[in-house]
Structure 1
Amino acid sequence: MPIYNPALKNLDMKEIKRYSGLTKASEFPPHLLEQACTEAQIISQPKVVWQIYDYNPNTATIMSPEPLTLSSTKISEHLKNCLQVIVIAVTIGSRLEEMVSEYFTKDEYTLGLLLDAAGTTAVEVAADQACDLIRQQANQKGYSTLFRFSPGYGQWDITVQPQILSLAHAYEINVTATPSCMLLPRKSITAVIGLTPNACQSAPTSPAKNKSCQQCQQVNCLARKD
């Protein structure tokens, strides 16, 4: 698939505060929040690439040239009605995290923290835009899309990251993984999106469902939504 370049027209400042862990901060410099939001929109270079594969729900296997069997019972249950899956990689590049490091070096910790959170918000926005496009294309072919499911969530071991990167052709947008399976650039996402024939749809398709903190076991997370 060709590389898709989302446009980051709007970043939700409430989301930036949430990702920064400052949602409940009593005193907060709004101008720094606005600056972080603006800088993130300017310096982010969002890129998305994805590939589509047949899927065998009986064996929870992505039928790629080197088939990948999914080890998590939660993702296999999530994809139980799927005949195809899309493996996707998203990034906003490395410039933003370089800027964050520069702010920390200059002791501008609050701005650095907010810019880092704005980067997280930006890559989520880019992923959501790509998912919207994928959903539209799938609907035209009689399929519905399930919410994206990423390694490291739902008991899906993060060690699968290298295989997911390979299946997505993430090398085309320069996304790699460290030996500990963390993504580089850090503001990147990989995921699997299930495709179900419209007549078989039974799992949630709402992109908001993917972000629901109620589905996450990290109950003490500072970014958790109430």
Structure 2
Amino acid sequence: MEYRRIDKQEVLRYLGYQGQEVDADLDSLIDSCIAECERTAIPRTCYQLFDIEPTEGGIAVCGTSLVLRGKSIYEHLKDARRCALLAATLGAPYDSTIRVQQNQSMTKALILDACGTDYIEKVCDTVESEIKQRAAQEGLFTNFRFSPGYGDLPLEQQPQVTALLDTSRKIGLTCTPSLIMLPRKSVTAIIGFVSDPPPGKRKPACADCQFAPNCTLRKEGKFCGR
């Protein structure tokens, strides 16, 4: 599977740059980190399609014991009768690359982290495109990716999603008791299959995120959404 290249402007955005001039040394270091990320990361993905139905308190994933809880996921999937659960990771070697640099150059470690953040989004975009094609084959459309932790969909449901997708065996992705995904540069998400194209396909904003009250980006007047 081919993935889009890491976007340097997105890396700068994750680093907190807002149009400031970047000196030649930093520009060269970012280029080097982008190349290292694309060379070291081992993207792996998996997804599975499920029928779903509304239930008291959320959305039931048919044929499983999983009930996605909360008003936010209900709104996301209320017009869908089918959904895709997906997971993606950049792999353990990239985690190791960042950890090594944390002991050698924190600047480079931060840049590598930002590169990984953009790259995992690119990986998810590619999987989402494949899911869109699956939906189109059924005469359906898709809405945006919605992850545990958005809105009031509990982050505590992350282990249920990874277990249902068998991510440990399929792509080497696990979820710790403290709800941290390993490898760290990993994502799970839910995409609904709907009958009509969603108007504007709004992506989640700060108001949807459980981490907003303690978000360091928000404290600096920045945000991670596009």
Are the aligned partners of 1:96 and 1:116 in contact in 2 as well (CA < 8 Å)?
Answer: no
- Name the residue aligned to 2:42: 45
Secondary structure of the equivalent of 2:116? Answer: helix
Report how far residue 124 of structure 1 moved.
0.6
Alignment partners' CA distance in 2, 1:214 and 1:129:
26
Q: What is the TM-score normalised by the length of structure 2?
A: 0.85
Find 1:210's aligned residue among 203, 212, 221: 203
Letter of the 1:195 counterpart: F
Once residues 19 and 225 of structure 2 are traced to their aligned partners in structure 1, the CA distance between those partners, rounded to angstroms, is 11
1:151 to 148, 152, 165: 148
Map 1:131-170 → 2, pairs under 5 A:
131-170=128-167
Matched, 1:125 2:125: no
Q: Provide the residue aligned with 2:109 in structure 1.
A: 112
Give the Cα separation in 2 of the matches to 1:96 and 1:196: 36
Secondary structure of residue in 2 paired with 1:123: helix
The answer for the alignment partner of 1:3 in structure 2 is: none
1:103 Cα offset (Å): 1.3
Unaligned runs of 5+ residues in structure 2 are 213-217
Q: SS of the counterpart of 1:54?
A: strand
Q: Is the 8 A contact 2:150 2:208 kept in 1?
A: no
Aligned equivalents of 1:182, 1:64: Cα separation in 2: 26
Seen in structure 2, the aligned counterparts of structure 1 residues 214 and 181 have a Cα distance that, compared at 3 Å, is closer
**Aligned pair partner of 1:62 in 60, 63, 66:** 60
Q: Distance in 2 between matches of 1:223 and 1:34?
A: 23
1:192 aligned partner: 190
The aligned amino acid for 2:94 is L
Distance in 1 (CA, whole Å) between partners of 2:204 and 2:100 is: 30
Aligned residues, how many? 215
C-alpha contact 1:145 1:193 (8 A) present in aligned 2: yes
Partners of 1:174 and 1:20 in 2: CA distance: 28
| 2:85 match: secondary structure | strand
Deviation at 1:27, TM superposition (A): 4.9
Partner of 2:81: 83
Q: Which amino acid aligns with 2:111?
A: L
What amino acid is the match of 1:163? Answer: Q
> TM-score, normalization: structure 1?
0.85
Q: What is the CA distance between 1:25 and its match in structure 2?
A: 5.3
For residues 52 and 200 of structure 2, the distance between their equivalents in structure 1, rounded to whole angstroms, comes to: 18
- After superposing the two structures, state which structure 1 stretch, 138-147 or 59-68, moved more: 59-68
State the one-letter code of the partner of 1:15.
E
Judge conservation of contact 2:48–2:86 (CA < 8 Å) in 1: yes
For residue 214 of structure 1, report the CA deviation from its aligned partner.
7.1
Contact 1:119 1:187 (C-alpha < 8 Å) held by counterparts: yes
**After superposition, what is the alpha-carbon deviation per residue over 1:104-152, rounded to whole angstroms, capped at 9, x for unaligned?**
211x121111011101111110001100111022112111111010001
Offset at residue 61 of structure 1 (A) = 2.8
Partner of 1:180: 178
Q: Percent identity?
A: 31
Change (3 A) 1:155 1:215: closer
Residue 9 to residue 48, structure 1, CA distance change in 2 (3 Å)? same
Question: Partners in 2 of 1:63 and 1:214 — Cα distance?
Answer: 26
Answer whether contact 1:91 1:187 (CA < 8 A) is retained. yes
Unaligned runs of 5+ in 1: 1-5
2:130 is paired with a residue of what secondary structure?
helix
Aligned to 2:215: none
Alignment partner of 1:210: what SS?
Answer: coil
Inter-partner Cα distance in structure 2 for 1:27 and 1:182 = 33
